[in-house]
Structure 1
Amino acid sequence: MADSVFLALPVSELNQKLNGALPMREARTRDFYLAAQAASHEAGVDQLAEQLGCAPSTLYNKLNPNDETAKLTAEDIIRITRLTGSSAMAEVMARIAGGVFYRLPDLSKIPDAELFDLILDEGSMTGDFHSHLRKFLDDRRLEAAEFARLEQDICAVISGWVEIKARLETMVAS
């Protein structure tokens, strides 16, 4: 299973219900280039260019949003993401799509018996989220620590279901 997944989770409705308690700054193309630059510079542009099979000057040009002659392609973005391990570009793309990016934990080593326990535990994870949400929104306000706890609950539920789906797919008879 992949280490991460691009999830465009709609937040506008939740944000509206929470009276704007979740500030979502509108991401722009410039933000995407800044993310690409940060990932590339952290990995080393010269080394990354070599791995991509291009000259360092070409990669520098592609990372420059003002350069009209060289642009990052979808293949470049995917390869840079894989080579650097950075989710920065995916995070910006998720914001542009009105969502969030979440890196999934590697649960591929969990034995099937534990996977079935995970399926059974999913209901309690969802229950924890609902319980916390009811408690935290009782006063119609959401504190930062409360949001952090809800985010943790949501991520646990999402990663659990994605892992369950992936593992069940491996059990499908061909």
Structure 2
Amino acid sequence: MPADVTDAAYLIAHNHTGGVRVLAERMGVSANTLQNKLNPNNTTHHLTLRESVALQVMSGNPAILHAMAAALGYTCVPALPDQAAGDPVEAFVALQQEVGEFTSAAADAFRGGKAMVSRNEIKRLQYRYNELISALNQLLATAAARVPAPVEEG
């Protein structure tokens, strides 16, 4: 993930199938206007917040969100759907699987007492970390959905 929001916006559009032209069409703006706003060397035209959200929604790539979070010292995890019908045992098993996947990624990165970790190993660790956090959130949401509503005394 790019660490800079400007780079993230540029890369979203230029790595998207169809590029700037397709995204501009989906967003309802001209391709030239979007291209100018995405140009990191342009000092006069910039994406608005709404355009940044639209760019990410239309591309399916939340890189700007992640770059913003990183700049502020945060990370992002996907929101969970309502877990009222979720199976707590399945959620617990999924959590344990993610613990294993994260542990495996960490072991591979540090195996053999390596002094350095590769960029790909870091990317894998970050991905497994996010999946682990999502599994924790899912288990918590599944448990929270089973808390009985408070009884009102009257």
Q: TM-score range by the shorter chain?
A: 0.5 to 0.7
Seen in structure 2, the aligned counterparts of structure 1 residues 69 and 138 have a Cα distance that, compared at 3 Å, is closer
Query: Against the structure 1 CA distance between its residues 170 and 62, is the aligned structure 2 distance closer, same or farther, given a 3 Å change threshold?
Result: farther
Mark the CA change 1:77 to 1:140 in structure 2 (over 3 Å): closer, same or farther: same
Deviation at 1:162, TM superposition (A): 2.2
> Are 1:116 and 2:89 counterparts?
yes
Identify unmatched segments of 5+ residues in structure 2: none
Deviation of 1:62 (Å): 1.3
> In 2, distance between residues paired with 1:111 and 1:140?
45
Report whether the alignment pairs 1:27 with 2:14. no
After superposing the two structures, state which structure 1 stretch, 159-168 or 115-124, moved more.
Answer: 115-124
> How many residues were matched structurally?
147
What is the alpha-carbon distance in structure 1 between the residues aligned to residue 127 and residue 137 of structure 2? 15
Q: TM-score if structure 1 supplies the norm length? A: 0.53
Query: Which has the bigger relative contact order, CA under 8 A and spacing at least 6?
Result: 1
The question of 1:59 aligning with 2:34 is answered yes
**Over aligned residue pairs, what C-alpha RMSD do you find?**
4.6
1:85 aligned onto 2:53: no
Provide the identity percentage: 24
Instruction: Give the Cα separation in 1 of the matches to 2:127 and 2:136.
Output: 14
Q: Does 1:49 align with 2:31?
A: no
